[in-house]
């Protein structure tokens, strides 16, 4: 019982970080109907940036978010402007999917060139310390990461619900044509939306680098998990993807603890198959376009 509760705590904390990555993915899908296969690679890129900032300048990994987030925001905007916006034709969805895949490859290639393919890890002094609460271990890094994810998710929610930009995003998601008629600059919304998605990846990447050993090829593993979360949450619903991330975090953590860590990875695949079999639109499929 103790082990089970411990696993659930661990799962919730991990799920929070997945939620952050997945919310960016969902935002991008909501606005542009593009499945961003580069999200995992952007997370790994964020992790490496944090790694460099930490090892070269001694900057605290959590603080480095202040630098990595705007950087990857710019990367996202550039990717959207240069690579995705010019796509034309009837199969834009398919083409953009493959373009984001190519972006993932390019990031992987550049990172392997710069850092090699050995596994690394961001190890600040407090990396292995933990608190004991009511007899349960709570890792400091995981807890702070979880809280940080919640704060950033709240910020994202605030941007979407309370700002003018957020209103234009939601309008674009609901109906791009009418949004444009009402004076929303859809192209600008798409670019900023993609940037925001990449920025969440950066923030999540800084945390990811402390929690996991990673190399440039880690993004395949990550993107498979992320996509499972996003499909489970119902593509296009941020709330759904947050809940799905927590569900998956807990489920895989329990399976890892009770069976073996490799079966924890398989939980994702099994869940994905079950969702597609039983409820292809996901747990919280956005029935109304624009639920976000």
Q: By CB under 8 A, name the binding residues for another protein.
A: 33-35, 37, 83, 86-89, 91, 93-95, 97-99, 101-103, 105-106, 108-110, 112-113, 220-221, 223-224, 227-228, 230-231, 235, 262, 265-266, 268-269, 272-273, 276-277, 280
Shortest distance in whole angstroms from residue 234 CB to another protein: 11
Shortest distance in whole angstroms from residue 185 CB to another protein: 23
Per the CB < 8 A criterion, the answer to whether 53 and 64 are in contact is yes
Q: What is the DSSP letter of 83?
A: I
Shortest distance in whole angstroms from residue 190 CB to another protein: 17
Shortest distance in whole angstroms from residue 208 CB to another protein: 17
Closer by beta carbon to another protein, 169 or else 230:
230
Answer positive or negative: Cα dihedral of 283, 165, 201, 108: positive
Element holding 132 (H helix, E strand) = strand 130-133
Q: Which two tokens stand for residue 28?
A: 């991008």
Closer by beta carbon to another protein, 131 or else 269:
269
Closer by beta carbon to another protein, 12 or else 106:
106
Closer by beta carbon to another protein, 65 or else 271:
271
Closer by beta carbon to another protein, 82 or else 181:
82
Q: Which two tokens stand for residue 1?
A: 């019982």
Shortest distance in whole angstroms from residue 235 CB to another protein: 7
Shortest distance in whole angstroms from residue 34 CB to another protein: 8
Closer by beta carbon to another protein, 29 or else 62:
29
What Cα–Cα distance (Å) separates residue 85 from each residue in 23, 96, 115, 184?
Answer: 22, 9, 31, 17
Residue 287 CB: number of other CB atoms within 10 A? 9
**Could you give the 3-state DSSP secondary structure of residue 127?**
coil
Closer by beta carbon to another protein, 120 or else 123:
120
Per the CB < 8 A criterion, the answer to whether 11 and 136 are in contact is no
Shortest distance in whole angstroms from residue 228 CB to another protein: 7
Give helix then strand counts, H and E, for the chain.
Answer: 11, 2
What distance in Å separates the CA atoms of residue 288 and residue 282, rounded to the nearest whole number?
14
Answer positive or negative: Cα dihedral of 262, 264, 219, 150: negative
What's the gap between Cα 210 and its chain centre? 16
């Amino acid at each position: 019982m103790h082990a089970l509760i411990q696993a659930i705590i661990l799962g919730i904390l991990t799920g929070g970080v997945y939620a952050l990555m997945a919310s960016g993915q969902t935002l991008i899908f909501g606005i542009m109907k593009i499945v961003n296969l580069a999200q995992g690679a952007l997370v790994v890129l964020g992790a490496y940036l944090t790694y460099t900032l930490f090892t070269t300048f001694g900057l605290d990994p959590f603080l480095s978010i202040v630098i990595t987030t705007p950087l990857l925001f710019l990367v996202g905007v550039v990717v959207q402007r240069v690579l995705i916006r010019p796509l034309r034709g009837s199969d834009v969805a398919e083409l953009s999917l493959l373009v984001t895949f190519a972006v993932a490859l390019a990031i992987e290639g550049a990172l392997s060139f710069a850092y090699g393919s050995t596994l690394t890890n961001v190890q600040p002094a407090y990396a292995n310390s933990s608190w004991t609460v009511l007899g349960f271990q709570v890792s400091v890094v995981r807890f702070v990461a979880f809280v940080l994810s919640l704060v950033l998710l709240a910020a994202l929610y605030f941007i979407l619900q309370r700002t003018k930009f957020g209103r234009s995003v939601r309008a674009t998601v609901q109906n791009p044509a009418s949004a444009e008629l009402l004076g929303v600059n859809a192209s600008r919304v798409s670019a900023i939306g993609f940037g925001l998605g990449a920025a969440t990846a950066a923030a999540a990447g800084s945390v990811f680098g402390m929690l996991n050993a990673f190399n440039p090829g880690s993004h395949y593993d990550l993107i498979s998990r992320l996509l499972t979360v996003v499909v489970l949450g119902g593509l296009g619903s941020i709330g759904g993807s947050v809940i799905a991330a927590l569900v998956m975090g807990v489920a895989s953590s329990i399976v890892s603890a009770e069976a073996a860590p490799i079966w924890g990875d398989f939980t994702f695949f099994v869940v994905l198959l079950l969702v597609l079999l039983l409820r292809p639109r996901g747990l919280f499929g956005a029935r109304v376009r624009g639920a976000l």
